[in-house]
Amino acid sequence: MFGWDKNLYSSRSLQKPRFLFRRRLGSRTFVIPAIIVMVPILCLTLLTLWMGFRHVTYSMSHPPLEKIDDRLDPLFSKGCKNVALEAQMHLRMNATFVILARNSDLDGVISSIKSLEKHFNRHFNYPYTFLNDDPFDQKFMDTVRKYTAADIEFGEIGKDMFGFPDNIEVPMYQEAIADQGDRGIMYGDAESYHHMCRFFSGFFYKHPLLLKYQWYWRVEPDVTFTCDIPYDPFYYMQKHGKIYGYVIAIKELEDTVPSLFRYSSAYRRTKQLTSGLWNFFLESPDSEVKSEEKVVDANNVEYESSSFKSQLDSKMKTLYFEETSNMDGEAYNMCHFWSNFEIASFDFFRNEKYEDFFQTMDRTGGFWTERWGDAPFHSLAAGLFLKESEVHYFRDFGYRHSDIYHCGQDLGCNCECLPEFPEIEFAEGGCFRQWAKVVGDGLL
């Protein structure tokens, strides 16, 4: 039994009292300092109070997620499943994680892998494919292998995929890139960023290391998953007829894509494409104002050379209107699926329709004269070619990149929401309400 030591206040110990526990085991008595027992209890109490405080704080600043009509896009799962059983229910899909990184991104890569393995891949063991426009060094490769038991391949991206095309006058486009920096456009003067956006828009799915896969999950350095993922998203995407999946939809910076929507809208009319998903990107989804302007054949746009700026500006004004984001009465609301997380089928890209769209858009030079991101490019392509029912919102996932964050809350599994970050669904720059209108009758 436990009890206070009767010798605690003996004459020898009056000046230095020692609080002890005494436990009798058989004929022997063990004396245990009270601090050894009390410290773990105190730590456990403080941890419980801290977790409770975080929960209360998050609940006060983040109301429950709103209910939506999800008949076109239901959750694949709600709450937790038996992951061990789930992982044995079907064979692994032909899928990989895709991570574009440089050697200097090692710390951020390790952070992402640790989070992804903890919340998902330690159960499902999908392989990783790392890509870099320079060779990976041995330190990077050896370190990454320490954090996962999954197979890993490292590949280099050639200049034909990550650089300027051969048929343009590079100095002219470098001048346009520098001009974007002078105008304060985010990453506008970073030439490698333009290469990256163009690579993910029209080339990554052609990389030799990825040709053998049907599905991919894009992962960026320095991302955090805050809910367990107790099911295989690749399997459920195929089971439910989904082609493209996202977790965050936000509005793009308008000065990065002043012409992208107009070109895409012109292409849509030229090809006579009709998809209800296009309404997700319209300022007024229910209105389609007819214009008397001649429909533009976007295939006629070609690269400019010597008198680059004046000719390009003239062609843009002649062919695509002077307004920043209008086309035939349509106005771009700047919404897009944030592509630093996306789970999708390579079939979305590896077909004649997408290839023709990319080549047509690429001929405008917009990846250089503007800072077209792969996120709005993928999104508008989805609006052209996919049905609403073929896109999935992973609303049960918890995901953070930079200071933009979504938490699955009560929809997900073991979610540990981060109170210091606002929920993107409630943010002014988010596009949740636009999605709710497209997939159903809006909010319930």
Active site amino acids: 342
C-alpha–C-alpha distance, residues 76 and 230, integer Å: 10
The vertex-388 CA angle with 385 and 390, nearest 5°, equals 75
Give the three-class secondary structure for 171: helix
Distances (CA, A) of 355 to 66, 131, 175, 359: 38, 21, 28, 6
Q: Do 229 and 403 form a contact (C-beta atoms < 8 A)? A: no
DSSP-assigned letters across all residues of 284-351: STT------SPPP-GGG-----TTHHHHHHHHHHHHH-SSSSEETTEEB--EEE-TTSEEEEGGGTSS
Q: If 0-12 CB within 10 Å is exposed, 13-18 middle and 19+ buried, where does residue 53 land?
A: exposed
- Written as six digits, the tokens of 112 are 């992402």
Packing angle of the helix pair 170-182, 308-320 (nearest 10 deg):
80
**Residue 100: strand pairing partners:** 131
What type of residue sits at position 97?
F
In one-letter notation, the amino acid at residue 113 is I
CA 113 to chain centre: 14
CA dihedral 340, 341, 345, 347 (to 10 degrees): -20
| Contact (Cβ atoms closer than 8 angstroms) between residue 368 and residue 263 | no
